[in-house]
Chains A and B, each alone.
Chain A
Amino acid sequence: MSAAPFSARRAIGVVLATLLGFFFFNALLGVFGLSVAIIALLLFISMAVVIFYARSLDRTQS
């Protein structure tokens, strides 16, 4: 019973992450202008650093 909702949630997550990735890719390429590109770069790096520190320890990953 729990597998279906979990998969749906994961599918939604994948779609949202893909859209976010697509946005970042275009923003970094300067599609929305230089200022948005700089903000996107800072946001992307901050997000990566936060995720890295929160999840980087081998012990927490499988």
Chain B
Amino acid sequence: MKLDPEVLARVQFAFTVTFHIIFPTMSIGLAAFLMVIEGLWLKTKDPVYLEIYRFWMGIFAMGFGVGVVTGIVLSFEFGLGFAKFAQIAGPAIGPSIGLEVLTAFFLEAGFLGIMLFGLKRVGPKLHFFATCMVALGTQISASWILSANSWMQTPDGIAIENGRVVVTNWLRVIHNPSWLVRLPHMLLAAFITGSFFVAGVGAWYLLCGKHEIFGRRTVSLGLGFATVAVACQLFVGDLLYGRMLHYQPSKMQAAEGFWEENSASPAPYNWVIIPDQTNQRNRFTLATPVLGSLWLTHSLKGRVAGLKNTPRDLQPTMGMVFYGFHTMFIVAILMFFIVGVSLWLRVQKRLFSTRWFLRALVIMTPSGFIATIAGWYTAETGRQPWVIWGILRTADAISPVPGGAMLATLIAFVVIYALFITAFLVFAFRMIRRGPEDAPDHAEASGSLVNALRTQVMDHAAATHPGEGR
């Protein structure tokens, strides 16, 4: 069997980045949530806010740790799987990734210790400042990564000299045409993810009939944040749609599932398709009449451009882009429905007692993660066959590495990441099952080694200074 290094490199990067994006999304969302919660605690001195803070800080800390470790791997994969991309594009995106470390990681790392271990060691205001800095750090980190990725989607501020990218305008590299819309889209996705995560756990407690006050407060706050963020996301999502239609028309043509150069008028909205890329047609379509014109052209009779407008060799694979985009969009519709119903139930004063709604919230707990991953699949598969839009094809960016080496490292990543996710899920479920009352004041170092060392040190101190109290 012949192993194709290009396919394996892409599968490997897709696997590792899919796994990775779960954790920064959670970190950004939960850090912002913790910042608000600690601010509310300082303002009101209500101990429930402190309980919420202590509980979610533990889950945030675990997610943050796994996110950092899995993120480092991605940088190495540029060399392992996409060396030619790193060689050609390094001058443009290298500094963005380096600046992420300098401006964001240093900020986060500096204040994370105070945030996790300093609740009883520093004053409450300094601790709140540390939480704010960690939250700010996660967002600055996202902004540099989004800048680098957006440059790959809509490159600007460069010239090609001797087959290499040469930066001619740094501001335009960073501030490329899609960054200012993609960044808020991603940050809002993280806030929504965190909000539904928090609300889902709170709803589970209410359904189980335990930790009632904690559950009510987290459901209320989670849904409050989600309501504002989901509305903003629909608005920003439409702006991004228009921007990408202008800069990457083939991506949006594939995302909507139309083949013909111009669709019928009025255009239907496709929900399910079975695309046939070879014959440039759909074998099956399930659609709602007129809705395509309304949503995609903002008119009653507008026509939607199809993928045949793009030459065959420059077309992305429609199925991947279509289902990535539609998964994200359908989850967004469900989220809007949920936040709308939550407003209605709040008015009716039945928010915490409507069991079907609480069950729906529990089901929606991972919805933000699903939508975020689907959105990134849309962005990345829709950019194909380019790795840097219009400049470098993915096929030309692959490292000259044997397929066997790529397969071996892929298997290694799958095994290691499976351990990571298992550990995270086991500990997160354990913390959730234990509940907020058992949450420690600070993140605990777990494991027998620390406890064993602590015992030895204390025994040694007691032996050498028998008269001193501890």
Q: Count residues of chain B with CB under 8 A from any CB of chain A.
A: 32
Which A residue's beta carbon lies closest to that of B343?
A51
Q: A29-B238, A37-B235, A41-B235 are in contact. Are A60 and B349 (CB under 8 A)?
A: yes
CA–CA, A52 and B195, complex, Å: 15
Does the CB pair A29–B234 fall under 8 Å? yes
Q: Does B217 contact A (CB under 8 A)?
A: yes
With a CB–CB cut-off of 8 A, which chain A residues contact B213? 58
A46 to B260, CA, bound (A): 42
Expressed in whole angstroms, the minimum distance between the Cβ of B48 and any Cβ of chain A is 9
Q: Which of B140-148, B180-188, B223-231, B390-398 lies at the interface?
A: B223-231
In the bound assembly, the distance between CA atoms of A60 and B228 in angstroms comes to 22
| CB neighbors of A among B229-282 (8 A) | 231-232, 234-235, 237-239, 242
B231 in contact with A44 (CB, 8 Å): yes
> A3-44 CB contact bits vs B (8 Å, 1 = yes)?
000000000011001000100111011111100011001001
The contact of B231 among A41, A52, A58, by CB within 8 Å, is A41
A-B contacts at CB below 8 angstroms, number: 82
CB within 8 Å of A: which of B344-372?
344, 346-347, 349-353
Residues of A within 8 A of B384 (CB): none
The binding surface of chain B is classed by DSSP as: helix
The smallest beta-carbon distance between B431 and chain A, in angstroms, is: 23
Q: Are B217 and A58 in contact (CB under 8 A)?
A: yes
Residues of B within 8 A of A55 (CB): 346-347, 349, 351
A46 to chain B, nearest CB (A): 10
Cα–Cα distance between A49 and B232 once the two chains are bound (Å): 14
Partner of A51, one of B231, B238, B298, B347: B347
A45, B231: Cβ atoms closer than 8 Å: yes
Assess whether A47 is interfacial by the CB under 8 Å rule: yes
Q: CB of A2 within 8 A of chain B?
A: no
Q: Kindly state the separation between the CA atoms of A48 and B232 in the bound complex, as whole angstroms.
A: 12
Task: A61 to B295: give the CA distance in the assembly, Å.
Answer: 37
- With contact pairs A17-B340, A21-B340, A60-B349 given, residues A48 and B234 touching in the complex (Cβ less than 8 Å): no
In chain B, residues 286-342, which have Cβ atoms closer than 8 Å to a Cβ of chain A?
294-295, 298, 333, 336-337, 339-340
Shortest distance between the CB of B325 and any CB in chain A (Å): 14
Which residues does chain A contribute within 8 Å of B220, judged by CB atoms? 52, 56, 58, 61
Q: Is the CB of A37 within 8 A of B238?
A: yes
The answer to whether B216 has its CB under 8 Å from any CB of chain A is yes
Contacts of B235 on A, CB cut-off 8 Å?
Answer: 28, 30, 37-38, 41
A61 x B349 contact (CB < 8 A): yes
A29 and B343 contact, Cβ closer than 8 Å, known pairs A44-B231, A61-B216: no
The residues of A with any CB-CB pair to B shorter than 8 Å are 13-14, 17, 21, 24-26, 28-33, 37-38, 41, 44-45, 47-49, 51-52, 55-56, 58, 60-62
10 cross-chain pairs, A with B, having the tightest CB-CB distances, nearest first = A28-B234, A30-B238, A21-B340, A58-B216, A48-B227, A55-B346, A44-B231, A52-B224, A62-B353, A41-B235
Which B residues are closer than 8 A to A by beta carbons? Answer: 213, 216-217, 220, 224, 227-228, 231-232, 234-235, 237-239, 242, 294-295, 298, 333, 336-337, 339-340, 343-344, 346-347, 349-353
